[in-house]
Amino acid sequence: RDESPALREIARITNWESDNFYAESLMRAMGEAATTVASYDSCRVAVNEVLQGLGMPVEEIQLADGSGLSRMNYLSAGWITDYLQAMLHSPAAGAFLASIPAPGQGTLSMAKIKGGERIRMKSGSMGGVLCYSGYILDAGGAPAYTFSILTNNATAPAKEVRPVLMRFLEFLLSF
């Protein structure tokens, strides 16, 4: 009998490797668990219930898919940082933080930041879009600050935008 990995391991793989199939599957599983149907409409119902349980305003966002690859997803940097703060107060806080890589790990292997061991962040990218959101950790390894940097409609290639964003994150580490 095959058993699925624990949810915390699936979340870690999803975030560490930016596994879009896992992200879509998690959203569909949430929808099915909440409504017995895994359609996008039922998924949105389930996601909204979870977000509202965290105290997040769902009317401020638009989610079209689970992976973040749709250009019909709309989230602000402010909303994302509020979400990251809410996650720190959720029962899943430890597993969530452990699921997020530091620069140089997972899909962030190209991200070079002095002091990057004090950062946990998730990246997102597609043509003209490059985003980083996460936590800056204190000396004891606990989240001290949240951040979200979203670039959209960039005309420069990501290989030119990424180093600028990495320097900005190094600047944030100085505080």
Whether the CB-CB separation of 98 and 12 falls below 8 Å is answered with: yes
pLDDT at residue number 111: 76
H/E stretch holding 148: strand 143-151
Q: Is the pLDDT of residue 7 over 90?
A: no
Contact 63, 47 (CB under 8 A): yes
Predicted structure pTM score: 0.89
Read off the pLDDT band of 98 (50, 70, 90): very high
Q: Supply 82's token pair.
A: 């509020």
pLDDT of residue 10 exceeding 80, the answer is yes
Taking only the tens place, the pLDDT of each residue in 17-28 is 988 888 988 888
Compute the average pLDDT of residues 126-131: 92
pLDDT surpasses 80 at 154:
yes
Residue 62 pairs in a beta bridge with 74
Burial of 80 (0-12, 13-18, 19+ CB in 10 A): buried
Confidence of residue 1 (pLDDT cuts 50, 70, 90): low
pLDDT tens-digit readout, 66-97:
888 888 889 999 999 999 999 999 999 999 99
Task: Report the candidate in 161, 150, 153, 147 with the shortest Cα–Cα distance to residue 83.
Answer: 147
For the chain, give the percent of residues with pLDDT over 90.
Answer: 53
- Specify the 3-state DSSP secondary structure of 120: strand
